[in-house]
Structure formats: C-alpha cells, structure tokens
C-alpha cells in the first residue's frame, strides 16, 4: 500500500540526542511511525505492530502508533532508519529531499534489537 | 526580486504583530521561540504580548503548534510553492485561477483573508522551516516565500527568517560567508574558495565517492545523511570530533572526545537571526576543545613537507 512518508523532528527526539544515541529510548523514538486510525485499519495492523517501509532507495522497519495525522501520510522522527530511505540525489541544491517520500508499507515482523 | 528581507528576534519581540510559521513546528522543535520572541513576550510596540499578535500556521498536518495559532492553513503536501505564488498574485490584486487554488487544498476565501490580514499588519514576519525548504521545490519554495515577504513591503513592513535548528548551524553559514563569500558547498582545492551546491556540497561529494578522507566536526552524518553517503564515510578514513559517541563515531577510524561548547568550552553561538552570542562555560572538562584539536591538527599538517605529484607539480600546505 502506498503512502507519503514525512520524517520530522520532535521535542523528545531533540532532548534524547543530547542524552545519547546509544540509548534504547533513542532507538524507540526513531522507529516509531505515526499512522492515522483509518490507515491502520487499511493495513490490518494494531498499535504497536511493526511494518516494513520500502522505497526505491531502501527499506526500514517501524513500530506503529496511532496519531492525528492525515490519511495517506506517515510521520516519523529522523534517525538511522530514515537514512536508509533517503535518496542520495540533492537536485543540485546540496540537500537531499528530506520529506514527502513515496513509500510502500506492509505488515512485518518486529525488528531484532 | 532576490535576497532576504529580515530583522533580529529582538525586533520581532518588540514590533511584530503578525506572525506566520510556514512548514515549521516550533512547539516541538523550538520550544523557547514562542515564549522568548514570537508570541508571548510584551514588546515596546506590542505592549499586550500575545493579545496584540495574530499568529498563522501553514503546514500539511495539525502539529502541536496549531494550538498556539489563531489561523491554521492545511496545505496539500508539495503545494507550498503554488500557495506562495498565488499569494504573490493576490497581494497585487491580480486574477488567480480557482482551479489552481483548489489544487493547494486551501480556498480562495482563506487566501484573500490572509492577504487582507497581512496588509493590515504593522510589522509582519514569516518564519519558515524544513517543511518548506526540504520538500519538493526546496530552494525555490524558500525563494518564493522570501520574495513574497520582500514584495509585501510595498504595503507594510514585512520580513522573513528561517527557523534554523541544531545548535550553531547559523554560525557555520555566517562564518563561512564572511570568510569566503559563500555559506556552504565550498571547495578550497585550488587554494581559493569556489562555490557550487550539488557539486562541492558534502552529501554530493560523499554519494559520488569523490572524497577520500573526512573530518567531521559538530555533526552526526551517520544518523542524518542518505545511506549512500554514510556507506562512503565508512569506506574512507573518517575522523570525528564529538563530546559523545555517535553513529558516525562507530563507522569512523578515529573519534576524538572534545569538551561540550557552551557547557565546558567557550565559544560563540549564532542565533537563528544571525546575532552572535558569547558562550561562557559553566563547567570544566578534562577533554580539549574542538578549537584546540583542530589547531593541533593544523600545526601537524603545516609541519609536513610539501606534497609533490609524480608529474613534478607540487602543492604547498595552503592552510
């Protein structure tokens, strides 16, 4: 199923960066994907279930949480998993496209810690 | 029209009565911005603080910042440039195609109301974030917003300012600008600065595999850059200076632990309005400062003999 993935920043993520990225809490934050209730139903998943997100550049697993986001759009804090989905081209600007990625999503097994 | 019509955050605090946040979520990403500068403080020309200000938020979703705004405009993803261009037409009373307005997810009534409010303002400011500058359109989106802010000065005072993040990114841009004339993406290999984003910018150099060594200072590209760039950093000798072990440290050949600037090392930080702030450390650190490590590396490089190519050409250490 196709979605628009928008990596973003959160206050918790920003605070955790200063605590340390080796922490389990950091890993939890950057693998938590916010999905609308309708899209969760469409995917046939419940809160806490894992999904595999894939695009032309790579794939990564995320744990889903229900949130008030528009249907068809997914949100996740930036981190190593989003790096795997980010294309290397900068369109001549120096900055890769960091939001608005078209991705395929399917239910998946939890990521090994 | 080009350039950035801007001001300091002090002017925002004391004068701004109309605030637009476009593609940014300050409630999460800049938690002190509302209370120190843009919403709550009482200023010289806005004596009643929040009551004297109108706040507009433009975003693709309802973020936590929506609660702080008077007006929320939910734009369709990737349609910021179109909305800004329509606003540029509307402020000049030019006709716009209703079908093009409909594509943005907003209505003509919403946009004409926004234009009327912008023109009524005494001092308007447009803050813009990564939701505008890092989606499709990128610098063209930013340029459209900066042009709108500049053109609004035909009617009233209006300025624009990017919502910069991450400690001192503004400082890196400002210092590079006054040293070389360019903010980033600079190549010194000929002994003088050349600027070309897309060619000399870090991500592009790494993704193409052009760099054969990397010195990383105050950044963690291993957790922020595209995977092909990270893979190249792991292939080449990478040296990291950071107070903490980061994802980049793990793929680097060398990690040098340094003192934390502002906490245990002095320095200068630049605010998002490019005002330099002296940083006075409250604590002492057993680790050297970034500046000290770079100076010692610099001295060691200077002590090396000139590099001579097999064809007889040589390069002196131009540092």
| pLDDT attached to residue B317 | 56
Q: Is residue B207 domain-shared with residue B231, that is, in the same domain?
A: yes
CA atoms within 13 A on the CB side of B117: 17
pLDDT of residue B305: 79
C-alpha to C-alpha distances, B290 to B95, B219, B281, nearest whole angstrom: 56, 12, 14
Q: How far is B79 from chain A (nearest CA, A)?
A: 11
Is B101 found in the same domain as B194? Answer: no
Is the Cα dihedral B85, B91, B95, B96 positive or negative? positive
- The C-alpha atoms of residue B252 and residue B249 are separated, in whole angstroms, by 5
What is the average pLDDT across A51-72? 97
User: By C-alpha distance, which of B169, B176, B147 is closest to B3?
Assistant: B147
pLDDT of residue B248 exceeding 90: yes
Shortest distance, CA A33 to any CA of chain B (angstroms): 15
Give A-chain residues touching B130 at CB under 8 angstroms: 8-9, 98-99
Question: Same structural domain for residues B78 and B93?
Answer: yes
DSSP-derived secondary structure letter, B45 = S
Closest chain B CA to residue A21: B246
Neighbouring C-beta atoms of residue A24, cutoff 10 Å: 8
Interface test with B, best of A3, A60, A93 (most B CBs within 10 A): A93
Contact A91 B198 (CB under 8 A): yes
Structure tokens at A84: 């795997």
Contacts of B133 in chain A (CB under 8 A): 95
Give me B219's structure tokens: 């950044």
Residues B51 and B124 in one domain: yes
Q: How far apart are CA A13 and CA A19, in angstroms?
A: 10
pLDDT at B2: 66
**Spatial separation of the C-alpha atoms in residues B64 and A21, rounded to whole Å:** 24
Scanning every residue of chain A, which has its alpha carbon at the shortest distance from the alpha carbon of B204? A94
For tokens 């997810």, the residue is: B105
User: pLDDT tier at B3 (50, 70, 90 boundaries)?
Assistant: confident
Cβ neighbours of residue B59 under 8 Å, at least 6 residues apart? B21, B22, B23, B24, B25, B65, B66, B72, B73, B74, B75, B131
**CB-based contact A14 B29, cutoff 8 Å:** yes
Q: What local confidence, expressed as pLDDT, does residue B302 receive?
A: 86
The CATH number of the structural domain formed by A2-108 is 2.40.40.20
B103-136 pLDDT, tens per residue? 999 999 999 999 999 999 999 999 999 999 988 8
Whether B233 and B221 have beta carbons less than 8 Å apart is answered as yes
A7 touches chain B (CB under 8 A): no
If one counts every other C-beta atom within 10 angstroms of the C-beta of residue A9, the result is 19
- Give chain B's domain count: 2
Task: For residues B97 and B175, state if they share a domain.
Answer: no
* pLDDT cut 70: percent of chain B above it: 97
CATH number at residue B266: 3.40.50.740
Quick one: B149 and B190 in the same domain? no
* Other residues' Cβ atoms within 10 Å of the Cβ of residue B141: 24
pLDDT tens across B215-230, in order?
999 899 999 999 999 9
pLDDT in tens, B138-168: 999 999 999 999 999 999 999 999 999 877 9
- Residue B315 binned pLDDT confidence (cut-offs 50, 70, 90): low
Q: What is the pLDDT of residues B53-65, one digit of tens each?
A: 999 999 999 999 9
- The last residue of a domain, from among B139, B162, B185: B162
Domain end position, chosen among B107, B129, B162:
B162
Helix axes B108-120, B80-91, angle to 10 degrees: 60
pLDDT of residue B292: 97
């Amino acid at each position: 199923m196709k979605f628009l993935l928008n990596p973003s920043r959160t206050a918790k993520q920003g605070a955790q960066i200063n605590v340390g990225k080796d922490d389990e809490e950091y890993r939890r934050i950057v693998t938590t994907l916010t999905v609308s209730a309708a899209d969760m139903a469409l995917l046939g998943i419940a809160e806490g279930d894992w999904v595999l997100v894939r695009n032309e550049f790579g794939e990564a697993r995320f744990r889903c949480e229900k949130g008030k986001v528009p249907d068809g759009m997914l949100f996740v804090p930036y981190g190593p998993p989003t790096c795997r989905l980010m294309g290397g081209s900068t369109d001549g600007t120096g900055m890769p496209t960091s939001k608005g990625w078209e991705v395929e999503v399917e239910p998946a097994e939890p990521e090994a810690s | 029209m080009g350039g950035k019509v801007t001001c300091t955050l002090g002017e925002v605090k004391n004068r701004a009565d109309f605030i637009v946040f476009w593609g940014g979520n300050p409630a999460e990403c800049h938690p002190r911005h509302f209370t120190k500068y843009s919403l709550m403080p009482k200023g010289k020309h806005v004596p009643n603080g929040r009551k004297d200000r109108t706040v507009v938020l433009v975003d693709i979703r309802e973020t936590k910042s929506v609660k702080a705004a008077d007006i929320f405009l939910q734009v369709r993803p990737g349609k910021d440039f179109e909305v800004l261009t329509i606003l540029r037409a509307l402020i000049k009373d030019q006709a716009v195609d209703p079908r093009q307005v409909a594509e943005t997810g907003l209505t003509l009534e919403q946009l004409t109301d926004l234009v009327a409010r912008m023109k009524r303002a005494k001092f308007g400011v447009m803050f813009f974030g990564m939701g505008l500058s890092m989606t499709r359109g990128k610098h063209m989106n930013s340029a459209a917003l900066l042009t709108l802010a500049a053109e609004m000065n035909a009617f009233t005072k209006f300025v624009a300012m990017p919502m910069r993040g991450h400690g001192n990114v503004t400082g890196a841009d400002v210092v590079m600008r006054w040293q070389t004339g360019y903010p980033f993406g600079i190549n010194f290999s000929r002994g003088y600065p050349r600027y070309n984003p897309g060619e000399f910018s870090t991500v592009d150099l790494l993704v193409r595999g052009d760099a054969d060594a990397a010195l990383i200072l105050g950044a963690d590209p291993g957790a922020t850059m595209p995977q092909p760039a990270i893979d190249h950093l792991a292939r080449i000798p990478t040296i990291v200076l950071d107070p903490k072990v980061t994802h980049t440290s793990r793929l680097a050949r060398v990690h040098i632990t340094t003192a934390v600037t502002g906490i245990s090392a002095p320095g200068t930080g630049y605010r998002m309005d490019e005002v330099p702030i002296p940083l006075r450390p409250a604590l002492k650190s057993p680790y050297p400062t970034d500046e000290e490590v770079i100076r010692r590396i610099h001295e060691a490089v200077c002590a090396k003999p000139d590099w001579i190519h097999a064809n007889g050409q040589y390069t002196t250490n131009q540092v």
